[in-house]
Structure 1
Amino acid sequence: MAPLDIAQVARQSGVPASTLRFYDEKGLIASTGRQGLRRLFDPGVLEKLALISLGRAAGFSLDEIARMFAPDGQPRIDRRMLETKADELDRTIRQLAAMRDGLRHAAVCRAPSHMECPTFRRILRAAGTGAIAAPDRKAPRKRAAQSSSNEASSRQ
């Protein structure tokens, strides 16, 4: 099959060309050459990009995703890492479900004030002790900021 240029890969995968260049520089994907100034990729890169996208959607960092590929680029997925991520997602789902239920209750509570509602007070105490906490978003934001910064510098 004929190689795909970066514009074709971007169009078929939905991944911006700037991200493809960043992934190439990071070693997640590998261009096979150039046609003028355009990078060329083997058509198999589309499946690899789909795996990267799936990993990102599941909350894996790019470094974690990079470890999911053997040196030859073939998938080598650590099942224990998948299990750990699934457990982490279960915890997040439970926390979000509890928060959703609390918000729904607060929205329809008939108490004159939320502070007079025993259910809301119980939720408030749980939040105060850390039993109900927002999912840790600091690390992904930091990674996203680093990725954006790296992508911006790679475009220059």
Structure 2
Amino acid sequence: MTDLDIAEVAQRAGVPASTLRFYEEKGLIASVGRRGLRRQYDPGVLERLALIAMGRTAGFSLDEIAHMLAPDGQPRIDREMLAAKADELDRKIRELAVLRDSLRHAAACPAPSHMECPTFRRLLKAAVSRKRAHPWGTSPYRQELNG
């Protein structure tokens, strides 16, 4: 297969050309040359871009992803790092599930006003304490919703 023009790579990968140039500046991808003013890429860049997209979707930073991509194009993925990210995603999923349940409760609460609902007031209190005590940490909502 022949080299791909930057516009074709952008279209196939679903990212703007500016993202490709940025990734190249960060060392995540490399062009193989130019045809006129347009960068050319090896077709293998599409697989590398898919790995980058997967890493971004999982919440890895570009620097973390850069460490997972060897210059030869082969991934060198740290399994412990993957396991830690999976654990982090599990925590986030639990937190989002609690938030979903809280919203469902608020939507279906029979109290005349949400401020008259004891469960809703506990949720508000938990939200305030969470911001003070755990700005980036785990959620106390579950125990408040069930309490």
TM-score for the superposition, normalised by structure 2: 0.84
* One-letter code aligned to 2:11: R
Instruction: Give the equivalent residue in structure 2 for 1:150.
Output: none
| Count of equivalent residues | 136
Q: Relative CO higher for 1 or 2, CA cutoff 8 Å, sep ≥ 6?
A: 1
CA RMSD of aligned residues (A): 2.0
1:19 and 2:11 correspond: no
Instruction: Work out whether residues 92 and 135 of structure 1, in 8 Å CA contact, stay in contact via their aligned partners in 2.
Output: no
What code does the residue aligned with 1:87 have? D
Question: How do 1:40-119 residues align onto structure 2 when only pairs under 5 Å count?
Answer: 40-119=40-119
SS of residue paired to 1:39: strand
Q: Is the Cα–Cα contact under 8 Å of residues 29 and 48 in structure 1 kept in the other structure?
A: yes
Is the 1:30–1:41 contact (alpha carbons within 8 Å) kept by the matching residues of 2?
yes
Q: CA deviation at 1:8?
A: 1.3
| Alpha-carbon shift at residue 68 of structure 1 (Å) | 0.6
1:27-52 CA-to-partner distances (Å, cap 9, x unmatched) read: 10011111111111110000000000
Corresponding residue number in structure 2 for 1:31 = 31
Q: Deviations over 1:99-139 (max 9, x none)?
A: 11111111111112222212212222322321897868xxx
* Aligned residue identity for 1:47: E
Which segments of structure 1 move beyond 6 Å, counting only runs of 4 or more?
A: 131-136
Extract unaligned runs of 5+ from structure 1. Answer: 137-156
The Cα offsets for residues 7-60 of structure 1, whole Å up to 9 and x where unpaired, read as: 111121112111111111111001111111111111000000000011111111
Amino acid at match of 2:47: E
Pair 1:32–1:73, CA change in 2 (3 A): same
> Which amino acid is 2:76 matched to?
R
Q: Cα distance 1:68–1:74, how it changes in 2: closer, same or farther (>3 A)?
A: same
> What is the aligned-residue identity percentage?
72
Aligned partner of 1:14: which letter? G
Separation in 2 of the partners of 1:116 and 1:32? 65
Give the unaligned 5+ runs of structure 2. 138-147
What is the alpha-carbon distance in structure 1 between the residues aligned to residue 4 and residue 136 of structure 2? 40
